[in-house]
Amino acid sequence: MKIEVITEPIDDKLAAILAQIQFNAYVTSGMRSYTQDEIFDLLSLESYTLYLAQRNFNDQSTVDGFLIEQHAADEVEVITVAIEPAHQRQKVGKALFSALIEKKRKTESVNIFLEVAKINHSAIAFYERMGFEIIGTRKGYYTIKSSLVDAIVMRKRD
């Protein structure tokens, strides 16, 4: 698997692929996924970076998952991460976050922040294994299946 870090705007075709991956990853949880246009617009902005997990199969590259982050000053925020369901629990997320953490070290960013639904216990455990700590709660941050769900705010710092 290869992680490509993309800092330039992406095309509509890649935005559509990313939107479909996120939809596939989120559909059973009831969380809202970004649209193709929203992903395209986000990645058109200079402060956003895409981490793309790719695998070659039969001489063709396939996208297994992605992470979008926004950086400002010495901080990074994970905006979204999605792994194609067929590739979940195959270290794709670990590879994406490892690439993010390595980039953070090179740019001397101090903190990485993210929010995760309080009910997403497996994601919280994963982030803790990656070195994130819980620092707070945002009440009613997510709407999942017509219910308000708190977000857990997590931070990783060196």
Q: How far apart are CA 100 and CA 45, in angstroms?
A: 18
What fold characterizes domain 2-157? Aminopeptidase (3.40.630)
Are 100 and 78 a contacting pair, CB within 8 Å? Answer: yes
The stretch 129-134 carries a mean pLDDT of 96
Residue 22: predicted pLDDT: 95
3-state secondary structure of 128: helix
Residue 49: predicted pLDDT: 95
Is 127 a known active-site residue?
A: yes
Listed by start position, the domains of the chain span 2-157
In the predicted structure, residue 144 carries a pLDDT above the cut 90: no
CB within 8 Å of 55: residues ≥ 6 apart: 1, 2, 61, 62, 64
Alpha helices by DSSP H, 32-142: 36-42, 92-107, 121-129
Catalytic hit among 34, 48, 84, 115 = 115
In the predicted structure, residue 117 carries a pLDDT above the cut 90: yes
Residue 35: predicted pLDDT: 95
Catalytic hit among 34, 48, 127, 142 = 127
Q: How far apart are CA 155 and CA 1, in angstroms?
A: 26
Residue 128: predicted pLDDT: 97
Is 46 a known active-site residue?
A: no
If one compares 157 and 50, the residue with the highest pLDDT of the two is 50
- Indicate left, alpha or beta for 27 from its phi (over 0: left) and psi (-120 to 50: alpha): alpha
pLDDT tens, position by position, 27-81: 888 888 999 999 999 999 999 999 999 988 777 788 999 999 999 888 999 999 9
Instruction: Indicate the pTM of the whole model.
Output: 0.92
b (16+ CB within 10 A) / e for 86-99: ebeebebbebbbeb
The stretch 146-153 carries a mean pLDDT of 92
The stretch 130-152 carries a mean pLDDT of 93
pLDDT tens, position by position, 71-102: 988 899 999 999 999 888 889 999 999 999 99
First to last CA, the chain: 26
